[in-house]
Amino acid sequence: MFHRPVLAALALIAHGAAAQTASAPAATTTAAPRAVETTPTTRFYEPGDKTLRRLPADTVASGTAVATAADPLATAAGQTLLAAGGSAADAALAMMIALTAVEPQSSGLGGGGFLVWYDGKSGKTITLDGRERAPAAATATRFLRPDGTPMSFPEAVPGGYSVGVPGAVALIAEAHKRWGKRPWAELFAPAIAHARNGFPVSPRLNRFTASRRDMLARSPAAAAIFLDAKGQPWPIGHILKQPELAHSLQTIAREGPDGFYKGPIGAAITSAVATAFQNPAALTAEDLAGAAATERAPLCRPYRQWTLCTMGPPSAGGIATLQVLKQLERFDLRRLGPDNLLSWHLIAESQRLAFADREAFGADADFAAVPVKGLLDPRYIRARSNLIRIDRAMPDVTAGTPAGTRPRTAQRLADVPATSHMAAADGAGNVANLTCTIEGPFGSGLVAAGIVLNNELTDFDLNPIKDGGDSLNRVQPGKRPRSSMAPTIIYDRRGRAIAAFGAAGGSTIIAQVAKSMIAFLDWQMPVEQAIAAPQLFADRRGVRLEDGTRLVDMAAGLKALGHNNVAPGTLPLKGNAVARSGTGWRAAADPRSEGVALAIGTPNK
């Protein structure tokens, strides 16, 4: 039986199916495949039918334990584990696995992720790095053409060159070993049921499939799953069954992580990459055998009276998110408020500074000298913050020079918004905050044993030379590419976790998480309103204001302050969060997404 929020979300999908049927054009003969397009159009991110634009109150749930994800069926998987006595880790991992079936365009076992864990008993925070690694055959020249020039992003994404060694299953195994309470196989049961029995194609899945139709059509294994006999995306409401995925999930549930990295599934991954429709490459059994999740020290800094802990390298998202907030700390955002033009001007300026540093210094600290301490050093933050004026925008923004570094410049802006975030909290006070991804929509376009394979290696700099030397984020064997993911937990003065935020959407993740925490902490909004608050995104390309929100009315004011290229736009927004509420928890999903929050138990006020 589905719970009421899940049924409501599925009803919206059914409504979308009816609308699509009523307006669908007559079928036409499939044209010859065009060049693969890996840069989504603006339309790709529009929410579609207005009935899908929900109120914040439609996405929230409170209880003694909570779960939230970007898909209602995935959230229900988390709730099922909580109801069975599982921990927050069990719930988050079950949601991550379920997304392999019900949100295959954005995340799943063919990718990787980052987990920030708070232990309610010990008060400790631990972060696990399950980011994909470059296989041994991937060297600095991976994305160079025969003439030595770097490939374009659309050239590099499809096929074998972009596939990294998946880290998701290793992350699930490590987190379950440490904090899981329910049997391993139980984590997979909801996903197996959805893959075997099918689920209704959602408006988001339909749109993602349409945007990647040409790439999927060139990949026989992907086309067999996600396109109909005429090569078109399955319509909204179609019951999508994935029997091969169900079999693979059963294998992993039975055999553990070796069932993924070894045996038939591992061989299928190696074969899919080697025989790719474009850019065939080597990803060997030895590469897969070396997959592991690594414990990293959490990256923690104070913000006003709170403490924020997030993911460090290879994620550059955590550093940038902390920079955005720390650079704003000297301004009284609470007094200015969420309806004040100057609040959003300041947020835009701080984002611009943080993104400049991210592009210059983001990399895997196991391979490159990433100046984490320098980028967050109070003196450096103060110097960067002092560049922000409340009455005027900076004419230009470049990366800073933290202590011990030489000047560096940005190389490219090529993040493709996809990814998924989920969070859970349980009655013991534990919090699991997890972001996972296959990078771009449908990753590399390759499918192995029913599992979509990532294109994470295009998060490396395609040109290995930067500023006259080696790029910090160049491809190297065994290296993890830079990421924007920024799962973050907030703590009170006693060191107790009071909230957790995360988001999906490429580089907008940083802006989303920072905005939501400002809204929650400075503007004292409930968690669901903090996520739903309008979004601004600013980097060296200009300022984007979330279309259809009050921020669009501030465009003229921002231009008057000196901001350039200010325009409304449809942003890929998809956040999730949990927060303490009385003796229990309150969880929310982004009303712009298809996600919901679900709970068990009734907390005391």
Structure tokens at 271: 């074969």
Q: CA torsion, points 474, 444, 513, 532, in degrees to nearest 10?
A: 160
**Distance of alpha carbon 479 from alpha carbon 360, whole angstroms:** 18
Q: What angle, 0 to 180 degrees and rounded to 10, lies between the N-to-C axes of helices 243-255 and 88-102?
A: 150
Q: Which helix (H) or strand (E) holds 81?
A: helix 72-83
- The answer for residues whose C-beta is within 8 angstroms of residue 22's C-beta and 6 or more apart is none
Using an 8 Å Cβ cutoff, are 501 and 515 in contact?
Answer: no
Active-site residue 275, yes or no? no
Q: Which position among 38, 270, 310, 419 bears the catalytic label?
A: 419
d(CA 442, CA 439): 8
Distance CA 149, CA 156 (A): 12
Q: In 369-475, where do the E strands start and end?
A: 420-425, 431-437, 447-448, 451-452, 465-466, 469-470
Q: Rounded to an integer, what distance in angstroms lies between the CA atom of residue 273 and that of residue 259?
A: 19
SS3 percent helix, strand, coil of the chain, rounded to 5, is 40, 20, 45
Neighbours of 356 (CB within 10 A): 23
Encoded amino acid at 199, one letter: F
Residue (of 595, 507, 589, 588) closest to 544 by Cα position: 507
The SS3 assignment for 398 reads coil
* Residue pointed to by tokens 């939230």: 68
3-state SS string for 507-530: CHHHHHHHHHHHHHHCCCCCHHHH
Residues forming beta bridges with residue 491, ordered by sequence position: 307, 497
**Number of residues that this document lists for the chain:** 605
Measure the CA–CA gap between 51 and 472, rounded to whole angstroms. 45
The answer to whether 564 and 390 are in contact (CB under 8 A) is: no
Cβ neighbours around 277 below 10 Å, total: 20
Backbone angles phi, psi at 431, to 5 degrees: -130, 130
Kindly report each contact of residues 252-261 with a partner whose C-beta sits within 8 Å and lies 24 or more positions away, as own/partner. Answer: 252/109, 252/169, 252/188, 253/184, 253/185, 253/187, 253/188, 253/189, 253/192, 254/185, 256/173, 256/184, 257/169, 257/170, 257/172, 257/173, 260/109, 260/166, 260/169, 261/169, 261/170, 261/288, 261/289, 261/291
What letter would DSSP give residue 546? E
CA separation for the pair 272, 249 (Å, rounded): 18
Q: Which residue has the tokens 């708070």?
A: 118
CB 213 within 8 Å of CB 226: no
> Which positions are catalytic?
419
